[in-house]
Amino acid sequence: MAVTFTTKAKKIRRSGSRSDVPPKARPQRDRGQGMPWRARLRRDRSLIIMTVPAVVLLLVFNYLPLFGLITAFEYYDPLVGVLHSDWAGLDQFRMLFHDPVFWEALRNTLWLSFVQLILFFPVPIALALMLNSVMNERLRNFVQSVVYLPHFFSWVLAITVFQQMLGGAGVLNHFLTRHDMGPWNIMTDPHTFSLLISSESVWKEAGWGIIVFLAALSAIDQSLYEAAAVDGARRWRRMWHITLPGMRGVIVLMLVLRLGNALSVGFEQFLIQRNAVGHDTADVLDTFSFYYGIATNNYSYGAAAGLFKSVISLLLIWGANKLAHTFGEDGLYRK
């Protein structure tokens, strides 16, 4: 038997055949490796057909409108069209940078974005941690449904709810009046406007924002918690040394995306409340482009403001991603 096995092994080494090699010892190959691209298209045609509507929507609503950016460098006339309007060069940007209303809108945008970043960004993380600690599955599902629900409300309905609670005839002022205290209409107070819009954003969007963090929590190895509990680590220590490090990559990614949208603090939310607190407080770059561009038929001026906002947002997301790489995180992509 030993002679027969040795002779067979020598034949295999000489011939290079792998027919007798166990399947586990064979290296895994990519299914599509070596296939022509036509064969791969035929193989994946069902998946490609399913992605066609999403690709069409992306092209029509995200990439095709980029052609309109040329109006920021023209004296655009809708009756003449984009291709035949007079060229303006950088005149629109010169007027924009010399407009004190634009700088006021930019200052409001940066301040409100900073307040929302401090007050709003940590809330979904805290909610995800609390929901993850709830052991009763039915209670957890009920709480998730309750906090998800406001996301599906329009901003008109969300602001109406706050108006009924905090407005001049709202619940708060009824309470203050019954206890012989002066009324306080928070909905029209410019000094508390930044806190008001942050509270509205937390109530409406925080529940939806926890989805990503709950997914990150589900990916953490549960054996780490068991080993830490055996070593005597209590709940707070397990959260600090296991949960938060396990969520760090996702937190950094969401922070980068948040900084990329720092100048887009919300058009509908500010548009509805602008008249209540005044344009000096509620004007941001989005409302500036609408009121001083589209509403006045000065489309080139509004396009210049929108292009400025887009370029600054791109620089912010690029800088935040570079900073994430500096601290050893992936960010939007691996370095």
pLDDT of the chain along its 335 residues, tens only? 444 434 444 444 444 444 444 444 444 445 556 678 888 888 888 989 999 999 999 999 988 888 888 999 989 888 888 888 889 889 999 999 999 999 999 999 999 889 888 888 889 888 888 888 776 788 888 888 888 899 998 999 999 999 888 887 778 888 888 887 877 888 888 888 888 998 998 899 888 888 888 888 888 888 888 888 888 888 888 888 888 888 888 888 888 888 878 888 888 888 888 888 888 888 898 899 898 888 888 889 989 998 999 899 888 888 888 888 887 777 777 66
The pTM of this model reads 0.76
Sequence-ordered list of residues with C-beta below 8 angstroms from that of 203, at least 6 positions apart, any chain: 150, 158, 162
Angstrom CA distances, 121 to 31, 81, 197, 290, 327, stand at 42, 43, 14, 27, 20
How much is the pLDDT for 102? 92
List the beta bridge partners of residue 87: 74
How much is the pLDDT for 53? 93
Residue 207: how many CB atoms within 10 A of its CB?
22
How much is the pLDDT for 208? 87
How much is the pLDDT for 16? 44
Helices 155-166 and 267-277: crossing angle, nearest 10°?
40
3-state DSSP call for residue 36? coil
How much is the pLDDT for 225? 82
How much is the pLDDT for 171? 85
How much is the pLDDT for 32? 54
List the beta bridge partners of residue 74: 87
The residue count for the chain: 335
How much is the pLDDT for 2? 42
The pLDDT tens digits for 121-156 are 889 888 888 888 776 788 888 888 888 899 998 999
- Alpha-helical (H) ranges within the chain are 2-15, 37-43, 45-58, 91-97, 100-119, 122-133, 137-148, 155-166, 171-178, 193-218, 222-230, 235-238, 244-260, 267-277, 279-282, 285-289, 299-326
3-state DSSP call for residue 82? coil
76 contacts 303 by C-beta, under 8 angstroms: yes
List the beta bridge partners of residue 86: 75
C-alpha 160/C-alpha 269 separation (Å) is 11
How much is the pLDDT for 18? 44
Three-state SS string across 83-96, please? Answer: CCCEECCCHHHHHH
8-state DSSP, 26: S
The tokens describing 32, both together, are: 């599509």
